[in-house]
Amino acid sequence: MVENQVKNAKKELAELSPDNDERREFLTTQIKNYEIELERFKASIERQLKEKFQFSIEELYAMYGQYENKYISIEFHKFSESALKFGRNIAGVITYRKKEREELEKALSEEPVPRTNGMVKIDCNKNEKLSDQQKVELAENGFQSGDIYEVLASNMPLVKSYNQAGKKEIPNTMEIKFDPTSMDINKSYLYLFSQRIN
């Protein structure tokens, strides 16, 4: 809101006739006051991001990341580094490597659970507003969890498959009957490698 007021006041000042000194002085003072207010707001957000960030990597994993293909919408703090890089809003599925999942599972079992402001990777391939470079950056490097202002997610049933014991169903499987008795394994490898080269 304050940004819009600064923008409007600057626009009016630029279009103002040179002989209207009283209005010119008023607008100049107003712009200066608005800019001071904006700087205070930015400083307040920076302090909040450093001291009392809202989402840790552990909390994101516990609420969203541990579940299969949990699609979420993220809003970043206005002046955060992530908002400047990717825009205020992104949406996608948080991704983890096996080692990262193991570390987060271990962290969640600790008492008290740690709160780490760390990097979170997200697959945003369906987001049309992001450039391909931004999507790659989010998938490979991620963003700082402390930059998040708000997370929205659907209320769909939660399914956790990582580290669960038992037999898992693989959908759309086909059973192929095959008799390997007359098969030469070396010829098969040679054929596969030649197909790769082709």
Per the model's pLDDT, the better-predicted residue between 88 and 168 turns out to be 88
CA neighbours closer than 13 Å in the CB half-sphere of residue 140: 6
Closest by Cα among 39, 36, 37 to 47: 39
Model pLDDT, residue 85:
92
What confidence tens digit (pLDDT) does each residue in 153-167 have?
A: 887 767 776 666 666
Average pLDDT score over residue span 32-36? 82
Phi-psi category of 24—alpha, beta or left, where left has phi over 0 and alpha has psi -120 to 50? alpha
Q: Give the rounded percent of residues in the chain with a pLDDT score beyond 70.
A: 89
| Helices 2-15 and 21-51, packing angle to 10 deg | 150
Residues 6+ apart with CB under 8 A from 67: 158, 159, 160
Q: What does pTM read for this prediction? A: 0.61
Mean pLDDT score, 38-51: 72
